[in-house]
């Protein structure tokens, strides 16, 4: 703690009654001694909650060791979890050995801090779906191999409004900071396979596909790729040995569908018709199997959850107006797309796919990327309570991956940030960049990142809306 003299200048023509003041024209200046304490820890966030584990992140002004005290009673934090890796500014502590469906209270502290601070936050572990666990798969989203600058915004005429940020070590490629740690943890989790949900590369360059192939080749289980708007289809097909950018496969009695959303844009085209025809036939052949669908662009229209944050909406509206003045309507629309305020895929094409999902009746979830955020929404009027799941980018805030554990009675989905010092630092750097651009909500809510879906509660029949 340190004492500071605070000077408050009020532009006013009325002198308030009460405290002594010196009047200088229309400025009223008050001076007082105050003790200001900078927060020791900030941005404490429960990032991951499974049935038996929770991961908590936070930041400190200086590198230090951290611990988390936790327990099932607010006034009795009888367990301690210590983070690994030594002193650091950007922290993550994983609490293990938890009980499913249980509320825990916790407080983050410095490892050398004496005494026990009272619990100031809590979380509740998930309850797994019924039945036995069969297997788990991982997803990586928007890996953008080849990208080295995040958050750059260039307006009409080539003027750079936001210069963006890059990793502090120019000789270290960004994928080494953000993607490789995720691959290591996916391998440790012994996932059956990994799906990369589009924008595998960034600059449409063939060399980026070679890097992607080599880095993703570090995965010890099969890897399946989705085409994104940054991926040239012919290079994707050649690099990963595909026949088309849409295909499907089975695993232990479950069906997995990979779609290409790029043909859904623009005017009529043969690729669109070929894919939709193939999808209808594929779903018909697998009508008795629970099916997971993966694509890049979210197909659902703007959903209620994307506009429930009044403060975020105000910032988006202000930022959109400012960008429109500086860069034209296209710049303003880009911000709305980036925050889910505008539909990405034309609704007629989205409805064609959604109708096939509804008719199939056993689609377990539709998983997308593109917007670089964690989000779960529903298109009740078209597909009932089918979840449309978006996962944040692996290469910028919050920098993570997802693991989906499949049970006989449903699945559990969890978003994780690698417990790696450089990755956590990059996550914090890009978070601050996005906050300056009114894009602070990319991590989503705890329920967007971690949830359970039970098969017996899924109903894909359209529901009337008011």
Q: What counts of helices (H) and strands (E) characterise the chain? A: 10, 24
Judgement on whether residues 59 and 195 belong to the same structural domain of the protein: no
Which of 71, 94, 124 corresponds to the end of one domain? 124
Residue 105 host element (H or E): strand 103-110
Name the strands in the sheet holding 410-416, side by side, starting at the edge strand that comes first in the sequence. 223-225, 194-196, 133-140, 401-407, 410-416, 450-454
Q: How far apart are CA 36 and CA 187, in angstroms?
A: 46
Judgement on whether residues 405 and 375 belong to the same structural domain of the protein: yes
- Asked whether the CA dihedral 415, 340, 303, 200 is positive or negative, the reply is negative
Contacts of 312 (CB under 8 A, 6+ apart): 339, 438, 440, 441
Cα 43 from chain centroid? 16
- Asked whether the CA dihedral 108, 109, 110, 111 is positive or negative, the reply is negative
Structure-token pair, residue 308: 């429930």
Strand partners, 279: none
- Range 84-90 average pLDDT: 93
Q: What is the CATH number of the domain that holds 140?
A: 3.60.21.10
pLDDT of residue 440: 78
Q: How far apart are CA 95 and CA 124, in angstroms?
A: 12
* Contact criterion met (CB below 8 Å) for 50 and 128: no
Residue 428 host element (H or E): helix 421-436
Judgement on whether residues 371 and 440 belong to the same structural domain of the protein: yes
pLDDT of residue 201: 97
Please give the mean pLDDT across all residues of the chain. Answer: 86
Q: What is the CATH number of the domain that holds 52?
A: 2.60.40.10
Structure-token pair, residue 231: 């991926």
Judgement on whether residues 184 and 254 belong to the same structural domain of the protein: yes
End-to-end CA, the chain: 55
Helix spans in 20-146 (H)? none
Q: How far apart are CA 89 and CA 65, in angstroms?
A: 9
pLDDT tens-digit map of 340-379: 666 789 999 999 999 999 999 999 999 999 999 999 999 9
Q: Residue 325: pLDDT band by 50, 70, 90 thresholds?
A: low
Distances (CA, A) of 134 to 52, 254, 347, 404: 17, 10, 36, 11
Judgement on whether residues 350 and 290 belong to the same structural domain of the protein: yes
Question: Is 227 a member of any domain?
Answer: yes
Q: How far apart are CA 240 and CA 213, in angstroms?
A: 7
Judgement on whether residues 109 and 181 belong to the same structural domain of the protein: no
Helix, strand, coil percent content, the chain, rounded in steps of 5:
25, 30, 40
Q: Residue 466: pLDDT band by 50, 70, 90 thresholds?
A: low
Which of 124, 154, 186 corresponds to the end of one domain? 124
Look up the domain containing 171 and give its range.
133-301+343-457
pLDDT tens-digit map of 418-441: 999 999 999 999 999 988 877 778
Question: Is 6 a member of any domain?
Answer: yes
Q: How far apart are CA 188 and CA 394, in angstroms?
A: 17
* Contact criterion met (CB below 8 Å) for 276 and 159: no
Which of 124, 159, 187 corresponds to the end of one domain? 124
Judgement on whether residues 72 and 213 belong to the same structural domain of the protein: no
Higher per-residue confidence, 161 vs 224: 224
Judgement on whether residues 452 and 424 belong to the same structural domain of the protein: yes
- Range 290-299 average pLDDT: 97
SS3 181: helix
Does 34 have pLDDT greater than 80?
no
Judgement on whether residues 53 and 164 belong to the same structural domain of the protein: no
Name the strands in the sheet holding 54-64, side by side, starting at the edge strand that comes first in the sequence. 41-49, 54-64, 88-95
Question: Is 353 a member of any domain?
Answer: yes
Residue 38 host element (H or E): none
Question: Is 416 a member of any domain?
Answer: yes
pLDDT tens-digit map of 386-423: 999 999 999 999 999 999 999 999 999 999 999 999 99
pLDDT of residue 335: 58
Structure-token pair, residue 298: 């979210």
Question: Is 325 a member of any domain?
Answer: no
Judgement on whether residues 169 and 233 belong to the same structural domain of the protein: yes
Question: Is 86 a member of any domain?
Answer: yes
pTM of the model: 0.87
Contacts of 17 (CB under 8 A, 6+ apart): none
Judgement on whether residues 282 and 182 belong to the same structural domain of the protein: yes
Question: Is 327 a member of any domain?
Answer: no
pLDDT tens-digit map of 129-175: 999 999 999 999 999 999 999 988 776 666 666 789 999 999 999 99
Q: How far apart are CA 398 and CA 349, in angstroms?
A: 31
pLDDT of residue 165: 95
Distances (CA, A) of 367 to 138, 363, 387, 407, 412: 12, 11, 8, 18, 13
pLDDT of residue 455: 98
Q: Residue 324: pLDDT band by 50, 70, 90 thresholds?
A: low
pLDDT of residue 162: 76
Q: How far apart are CA 223 and CA 279, in angstroms?
A: 21
Task: Please state, for a pLDDT cut of 90, what percent of the chain lies above it.
Answer: 72
Range in 121-125, 335-339, 369-373 the model is least confident about: 335-339
Judgement on whether residues 143 and 101 belong to the same structural domain of the protein: no
Question: Is 307 a member of any domain?
Answer: no
**Strand 66-71 relative to strand 79-82, pairing:** antiparallel
Range in 14-23, 151-160, 299-308 the model is least confident about: 14-23
Q: How many domains does the chain have?
A: 3
* Contact criterion met (CB below 8 Å) for 376 and 447: yes
pLDDT of residue 331: 56
Q: How far apart are CA 389 and CA 367, in angstroms?
A: 5
pLDDT tens-digit map of 231-288: 999 999 999 999 999 999 999 999 999 999 999 998 999 999 999 999 999 999 999 9
Q: Residue 26: pLDDT band by 50, 70, 90 thresholds?
A: very low
């Amino acid at each position: 703690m340190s004492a500071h003299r605070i000077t408050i200048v009020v532009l006013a023509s009325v002198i308030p009654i009460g405290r002594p003041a010196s009047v200088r024209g229309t400025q009223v200046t008050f001076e007082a001694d105050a003790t200001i304490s900078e927060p020791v820890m900030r941005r404490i966030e429960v990032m991951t909650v499974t049935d038996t584990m929770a991961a908590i992140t936070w930041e400190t002004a200086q590198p230090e060791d951290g611990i988390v005290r936790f327990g099932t009673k607010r006034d009795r934090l009888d367990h301690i979890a210590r983070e690994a890796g030594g002193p650091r500014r950007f922290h993550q502590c994983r609490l293990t050995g938890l009980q499913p469906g249980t509320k825990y209270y916790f407080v983050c502290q410095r490892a050398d801090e004496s005494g026990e601070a009272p619990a100031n936050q809590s979380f509740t572990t998930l309850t797994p779906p019924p039945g036995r666990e069969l297997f788990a798969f991982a997803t990586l989203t928007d890996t953008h191999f080849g990208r080295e600058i995040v958050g750059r915004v260039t307006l009409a005429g080539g003027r750079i409004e936001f210069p963006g940020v890059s990793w502090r070590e120019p000789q270290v490629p960004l994928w080494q900071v953000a993607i490789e740690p995720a691959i290591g943890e996916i391998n440790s989790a012994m996932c059956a396979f990994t799906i990369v949900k589009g924008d595998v590369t960034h600059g449409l360059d063939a060399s980026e596909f070679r890097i992607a192939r080599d880095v993703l080749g570090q995965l010890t289980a099969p890897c399946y790729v989705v085409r994104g708007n940054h991926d040239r289809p012919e290079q994707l097909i050649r690099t990963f040995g595909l026949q088309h950018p849409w295909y499907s496969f089975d695993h232990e009695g479950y069906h997995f569908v990979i779609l290409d959303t790029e043909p859904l844009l623009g005017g009529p085209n043969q690729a669109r018709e070929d894919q939709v025809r193939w999808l209808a036939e594929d779903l018909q052949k697998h009508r008795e199997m629970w099916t997971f669908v993966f694509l890049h662009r979210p197909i659902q229209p703007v959903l209620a959850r994307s506009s429930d944050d009044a403060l975020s909406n105000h910032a988006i509206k202000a930022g959109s107006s400012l960008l429109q003045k500086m860069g034209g309507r296209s710049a303003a629309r880009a911000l709305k797309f980036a925050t889910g305020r505008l539909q990405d895929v034309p609704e007629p094409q989205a409805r064609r796919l959604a109708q096939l999902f509804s008719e199939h009746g056993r689609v377990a979830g539709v998983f997308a990327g593109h917007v670089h955020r964690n989000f779960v929404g529903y298109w009740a009027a078209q597909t009932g309570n089918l979840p449309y799941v978006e996962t944040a980018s692996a290469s910028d805030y919050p920098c993570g991956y997802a693991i989906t554990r499949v049970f006989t009675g449903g699945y559990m989905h969890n978003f994780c940030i690698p417990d790696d010092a450089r990755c956590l630092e990059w996550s914090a750097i890009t978070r601050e960049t996005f906050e300056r651009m009114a894009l602070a909500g990319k991590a989503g809510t705890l329920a967007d990142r971690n949830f359970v879906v039970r098969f017996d509660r899924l109903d894909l029949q359209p529901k009337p809306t008011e």
